[in-house]
Structure 1
Amino acid sequence: MSDGNTELEPGVVIIPGPPTIIVQRRSPLLLNCSAFSSTGFGQTTYRWTRNKVAVTLNKRIQLIENGSLYFQHLKRRKRPSRSDEGLYECFLNNIKGVVIGRQVFVKVARNTELEPGVVIIPGPPTIIVQRRSPLLLNCSAFSSTGFGQTTYRWTRNKVAVTLNKRIQLIENGSLYFQHLKRRKRPSRSDEGLYECFLNNIKGVVIGRQVFVKVARIASKFTKMPVDQTTVVGGVARFECKIEATPPPVFIWEKDDASLPINNRTTTLASGVLQIHNVLAEDAGTYHCSAQHSFKDIANLHETVTSMSRRRSEAGVLTVTKGRIYTVTSMSRRRSEAGVLTH
């Protein structure tokens, strides 16, 4: 056939795939069967073997409806029976018989030097970028000399990335975006799982897998400060929550001014403000502001600088005169706290 596919007698079309795939340990993998049955040949069923033994399906290894085999993460063990490495074969069956749709060797990378002369440079698993900002995704892999011509290709959510003026493939395998798009319809958004495939004469390797997310912050809070009353010496607690990517930084203010810092005030990254040993001077209006960070984000190794900022409605703290007292019950051997007001 002109497209390189092969038409078999039982109405099966085979789409050639790479003979070897090398994947980093603990990375996900989708093995396509690379074959499908033409209409008119009854129900099609698929099964996979590894080293001539049927693959055991479970939560980690799943058979997709189209015949693909999906691994949530790859394992490599010294004992071959516990490792995911080996020769995988996909068998397609219809009313005419059985055909081997694909044979592929799966290997798990040892360290960073791969068998076909490929070196992988580890990159961050997630990148968060401002909308309309440019982005350069490095493939994080290169091929040693002596292994023929090296080619690169990228997919997003398992679908080939469409190259155009806005999205370009650089000679070294990097994928360049002039600006990032975020749309409600996933097919029109740039967000998703990106995978770079490097190919040389020895086979194909996944050079990088990275999730790309566009920074965002919701227009409304899901939780805001509420009015409350406490006594001198008591405890006050306010809370703010808002959906954002990456998690926002919360800034608290009292009476439209920066919150005084002292050893009685505790602020949590989750958006909680707590005031211990409340004084009369703590009375007033409190509100929080949520915004993106202006520094490197922990465990993402990327910088996000967004001016998006949301300000909550205020909560009023009323402080009344009184004192905290404790009644000790010797029979119960415990303390019961109470508040005396006047």
Structure 2
Amino acid sequence: MRNITAVAGRNTFINCRVIGYPYYSIKWYKEGLLLPDNHRQVVYENGTLKLSDVQKVLDEGAYLCSVLIQPQIFISQTVYVQVKVPPLIQPFDFPPTSIGKLMYIACVVSSGDMPIHITWRKDGQEVAPSSGVNIETKEYMSSLQIGKVSLKHNGNYTCIASNDAATVSSERQLTVTVPPQFVVQPNNQDGIYGKAGVLNCSVDGYPPPKVMWKHAKGTGNPQQYHPVPLTGRIQIMGNGSLLIRHVLEEDRGYYLCQASNGVGSDISKSMVLTVKSESDLQPGPRVHILIHTPGRKLP
């Protein structure tokens, strides 16, 4: 019989084939002990020996298959089982981080036969040296370092450890957060009664910020803001701006654009909406002034 290589933690089967002889029984021995001698060993009627959840210390060694072909006559063969231990990666996770910070994470292999080869992948691809990610690898550990975290570092990172026994991996997600910031700030503007108007406000950040609009009536200092009721007439657009389909007199006053995404502090900016009629915007009649100079004839 050929020697067998088994992988720790898995099941393995050892066959004892008898060809050309009628036989009475097949028995297995290890170190002189008749098998099975524990719950992980099973000997089937056809002579196959099953080792469940193979363990290096307990299961590695020589196994003797003894076949009774006639009364008091045995034939036997020995097979050596070598147990190889696959890598075991310790659990790791990326801590919460935000843009511009330093990131360091270690992938540690706590057990496994040497040599062990450790590599990293991002979103299924090799980590490019130009990505700003530095990788340092030793015999049983590989560290991933990012000097200044940016949005391009968002993604799934996989630590892969391999040896002669097996290849294992562990994947974790790195999420880089960015506090909300204004792309377009609201400014005071006029609205025309009965016409559509857009109060501009655009924000950026990660996760994408949520925008809320508030309204304080009146033209003096705002006393108290209330959430803008979102109806068919008033809606928040995809970019965060406020759409008023038909501007009414009641829409005049202070508006506050407020954004939050759970990162850092909320941001807000106020503006004043003045409601005017179309006639307020029409130019008045032209006035011609004639200046009469003595001694000069008027045209």
TM-score, normalised by the number of residues in structure 1: 0.37
Bigger Rg, structure 1 or 2: 2
